[in-house]
Structure 1
Amino acid sequence: MSELKVYNSLTREKEVFTPITPGHVGLYVCGPTVSGESHLGHARPYVTFDIVFRWLMHLGYKVRYVRNITDAGHFEEEGRAAEDKISKKAVLEKLEPMELVQKYTNLYHWGMKQLNNLDPSIEPTATGHIIEQIGMIEKIIADGYAYVVNGSVYFDVEKYNKDYSKKGEPYGILSGRVLDDMIATTRELDNQEEKRNTNDFALWKNAPPEHIMRWHSPWGEGFPGWHIECSAMSTKYLGGQFDIHGGGMDLLFPHHECEIAQSNVCNGHIPARYWIHNNMITINGRKMGKSYNNVITLTQLFSGDNPVLQQAYHPMVIRFFILQTHYRSTLDFSNEALQASEKGLKRLWEAYDNLKKLSPSGGNAATNGEIDERCIKLLGEMDDFMNDDFSTAKVLANMFELVPVINGLKDKHIAADAISASTIQLLQEKMKLYIEDILGLNVQVGSDNNKLDGLIHVLINMRKDARAKKDYATSDRIRNELLTLGIQLKDEKDGNMSYTMN
């Protein structure tokens, strides 16, 4: 088997992977900000790094996979007052902030299970590590790379850049951006008057009186900056330097760039040796995001309850759709692409079922025919493809070349003596390993939940029709009977309905 090579965003090269500690891997992936429901754009990084996690374990590494939950802060500084997404959403939904956090954390975990992602080794929360964040900020201030203004703390990017450029580690080392160019092209933004320079970023923000989530600190009551949260959690669980830091390409700048700067000051190292970034999912060529009003949530994907969707899609179809394209390539969403993935997954799974029914003893023990050799070659290449920067798309391409052989053997269009018993056994073992264990494809995952969700949405639509006809008796009966089953309907402000299950 070839050596594992990964594309390192830091060096912009594909490199042989060598862990800091032989036999062990520290992997940190930026988790969700739980101020809203997870969507298709969130599915890609977590499926991508689930594959990385699975493959590293398959290679025999003991992996500590840390994926955080951002449940505080993550405020925006571009063109608006510092805004805590979770506090803002809590007010809109009339929930306590941690009630909102729990609601969307539960939905996120549910979505990850539907997609058959393995649980991380550790899932720390930002609110659970305020002490560690304050400690790092105090160290950065003591070393002269941060300053306090009106109870807020800002990282001094220009000072850092001046000092660390001498070490070959300037601000911009990951993204390739040059600070002087950033300064020259930065527009004037609101609420930036506290900063010495426009590129400085907040480590801690003073909480105004109306701000809900707040903690005591040496600088007054406030809440942490987004970037410091990940630095504190990765340092605590993986050390000052670890092997792999992962996330979506949209996090490369400024989030990961800022992580590098503040962690470098605190720990004396760029935090990770290898930086892996997945590319975006687009819809008709545009990035998926709330600002574009083109977000499709996971519950909508699995139920079909979105105007963009022509049908509901099984979670494994979504996973298969993501794995068909290399993680560093853009993946464009369309109903046609998902329907093609649905057909492709069905064809692959049917062939896999046929393969499981074949008897290895039915093959010829001594054959060295062309088909036999071709099967062995295609199966052998799959390991090399995974070791070549996790090329799941090439693995799947080889599987589809094997599908006609498997079906031909089952239908007896290919003679049993055309392939050896050992090769049939190898086919069965390798296809099971890859389909179920490495790629994590399991068509049974989510099936019952999808049927239940679809049934509930049928009843919701019947209730909507009843209310539109002023048939309140039928409307109330549907609601009350669902309630007796532990399913509570909620009328939303926009006229739609949602439900929760007890």
Structure 2
Amino acid sequence: MKQNVFVYNTLTRTKEEFIPLDAPYIGMYVCGPTVYSDAHLGNARTYISFDLIFRYLTHLGYKVRYVRNITDAGHLEGDSDEGEDKISKKAKLSQLEPMEIVQMYATGFHEVMRQFNVLPPSIEPTATGHIIEQIELVKIMLDRGFAYEVDGSVYFDVEKYNSTQDYGVLSGRHLEDLLNNTRSLGGQDEKRGKLDFALWIKAKPEHLMKWPSPWSLGFPGWHLECSAMSHKYLGEQFDIHGGGLDLIPTHHTNEVAQNMACYGKNPAKYWVHTNMLTVNGQKMSKSLGNSFLPHELFSGDNNILNKGYSPMTVRFFMLQAHYRSTLDFSNDAMEASEKGFKRLMNAYTLLDGLKSSAETEIEIQPLLTRCYEALNDDFNSPVLIAELFEASRIINSVHDSKMKINEANLVELKNLMNTFVNGILGLQNEQAGTDELPQLMEFIVDLRSQAKSNRDYATSDRIRDGLQQIGFQLKDSKEGTTWSKI
């Protein structure tokens, strides 16, 4: 059935119906990591959010070309045109080649994405693999008068551009306000305006990563990279451009300016942004000493939380918050999510063992409709998860013989859970990895039954209580004893 999807567009600050430029094809570009250090949780939150969007649009039958880049050069310290290249600096400190740093942290990033069950993008281009395309964009902007060269470096002329276009169209800020709030920095003397940004930077002799260009031996500006790669693989305009909220004021604003200067078009029809992370209500940051990496969250090796949490628990925790809302890490929130995730997965594992009856007391179609309605409303995963807990309640009631369901509705229920839990939310049952578990539990249940038959109630109770402590619940009934995960 056709679904009408609505998405919040940062560009218009409204929720709009999602109408692809060239259905059934969709182009989606998301700014990827700069691989000079370990992937952080902000990265993970953004890519899990867009994984949900990618999965859902694909489920609806769209052919999605998802491009997520790797920045392996040109991203300077402080996200500005000053300072050293982040990757070059790390390479010098580690006494390694820059590409060794890139390989090390790109591999680590991919491993974190694998642990979170994030699907790989359709294309994962690198900045260093697209130097020629970036040089060509600079030539276009120079030819059209939106850029100027000074001693081998090329800058974008923001004030000239703003005379014909709105430079702050994405951020919602006026040029005058931006100019008033921008302080002059050392080394900016060669720029005409305080807001001008580098398209190509002449490399100093000690700079490790540099390429020949018509202007100098140098390297591309950070903002230029995404414009070049999105244009190459998705064209002058595509459907969705995504990233974290922190990219709007500078990086994404400059991408819009570059594309408008080159092609007269905003690169994306819909701009989608994820919100920030907090810890106990405070913004997560290294300077506050409250940040931790994914592997520190998994292991519990951090000073913030009481214990570690599995990758699927963390994914579930992130999806319990809407991607546009602040996500707050706390002990209470993580523990609640862990319990909720186990409850959902326990119900999921009971599905295959459910038995249908001739009668039914359940209609699955209304529940299915509400699941779609949740995702159609700006990919509202928290509402979807609430509906899946309703599905879990039905599963548990059927399993406990408190509710009847016929074969047709049981098939619908199984399809619903498989589609939304595993296929779209991307949640996997971490406890269900061993094929031997059912046989093992049957053996234990049988031992307990023998103990009860021998009137050895102390052993029977010890088995029941011990299983409960490690997350398994036994239920006795006239038909026998059944088990489930808590």
1:338 maps to which of 334, 359, 367: 334
2:394 counterpart residue number: 405
Q: Quick one: distance in 2 between partners of 1:294 and 1:363?
A: 56
The answer on whether the counterparts of 2:10 and 2:170 sit within 8 Å (CA) in structure 1 is yes
Alignment pair present for 1:383 and 2:384? no
2:116 counterpart residue number: 115
The structural deviation recorded for 1:305 is 2.0
The structural deviation recorded for 1:193 is 1.4
2:250 counterpart residue number: 254
Count of residues paired in the alignment = 433
5 Å matches for 1:47-126? 47-76=48-77, 81-126=82-127
User: CA deviation digits over 1:14-47, x for unaligned, max 9?
Assistant: 1111111121000000000001000111111100
The answer on whether the counterparts of 1:277 and 1:328 sit within 8 Å (CA) in structure 2 is yes
Q: Quick one: distance in 2 between partners of 1:259 and 1:144?
A: 17
* Secondary structure at 2:255 match in 1: helix
The structural deviation recorded for 1:407 is 1.0
Change over 3 Å in CA distance of 1:137–1:445 after alignment to 2: farther
Change over 3 Å in CA distance of 1:203–1:80 after alignment to 2: closer
1:302 counterpart residue number: 298
The answer on whether the counterparts of 2:81 and 2:197 sit within 8 Å (CA) in structure 1 is no
1:30 counterpart residue number: 31
The answer on whether the counterparts of 1:386 and 1:392 sit within 8 Å (CA) in structure 2 is yes
The answer on whether the counterparts of 1:77 and 1:83 sit within 8 Å (CA) in structure 2 is no
Change over 3 Å in CA distance of 1:20–1:234 after alignment to 2: same
The answer on whether the counterparts of 1:314 and 1:446 sit within 8 Å (CA) in structure 2 is no
Q: Quick one: distance in 2 between partners of 1:217 and 1:292?
A: 42
The structural deviation recorded for 1:77 is 5.7
1:244 maps to which of 236, 240, 246: 240
* Secondary structure at 1:163 match in 2: coil
The answer on whether the counterparts of 2:81 and 2:198 sit within 8 Å (CA) in structure 1 is no
The structural deviation recorded for 1:415 is 3.5
The structural deviation recorded for 1:208 is 1.1
What is the letter of the counterpart of residue 327 of structure 1? Y
| Aligned residues: CA RMSD | 1.8
Q: Quick one: distance in 1 between partners of 2:101 and 2:426?
A: 30
Q: TM-score, normalised by structure 1?
A: 0.83
User: CA deviation digits over 1:248-291, x for unaligned, max 9?
Assistant: 11111111110000011112210010111111111233333344
The answer on whether the counterparts of 1:241 and 1:270 sit within 8 Å (CA) in structure 2 is yes
Q: Quick one: distance in 1 between partners of 2:368 and 2:13?
A: 30
The answer on whether the counterparts of 1:214 and 1:222 sit within 8 Å (CA) in structure 2 is yes
Change over 3 Å in CA distance of 1:189–1:286 after alignment to 2: farther
Alignment pair present for 1:393 and 2:382? yes
Which consecutive unaligned segments of at least 5 residues does structure 2 have?
435-486
The structural deviation recorded for 1:444 is 3.3
The structural deviation recorded for 1:363 is 4.8
The structural deviation recorded for 1:78 is 7.0
Deviates more, 1:294-303 or 1:71-80: 71-80
Q: Quick one: distance in 2 between partners of 1:353 and 1:19?
A: 37
2:325 maps to which of 317, 326, 329: 329
Q: Quick one: distance in 1 between partners of 2:127 and 2:236?
A: 18
Deviates more, 1:144-153 or 1:107-116: 144-153
* Secondary structure at 1:105 match in 2: helix
What is the letter of the counterpart of residue 97 of structure 2? E
* Secondary structure at 1:244 match in 2: strand
User: CA deviation digits over 1:434-468, x for unaligned, max 9?
Assistant: 111010001339989xxxxxxxxxxxxxxxxxxxx
Q: Quick one: distance in 2 between partners of 1:216 and 1:204?
A: 11
* Divergent runs of 4+, >4 A: 77-80, 445-448
Deviates more, 1:209-218 or 1:430-439: 209-218
Alignment pair present for 1:442 and 2:419? no
Alignment pair present for 1:426 and 2:412? yes
Q: Quick one: distance in 1 between partners of 2:311 and 2:13?
A: 33
Q: Quick one: distance in 1 between partners of 2:38 and 2:104?
A: 9
Change over 3 Å in CA distance of 1:263–1:248 after alignment to 2: same
Identity of aligned residues (%): 54
The answer on whether the counterparts of 2:28 and 2:239 sit within 8 Å (CA) in structure 1 is yes
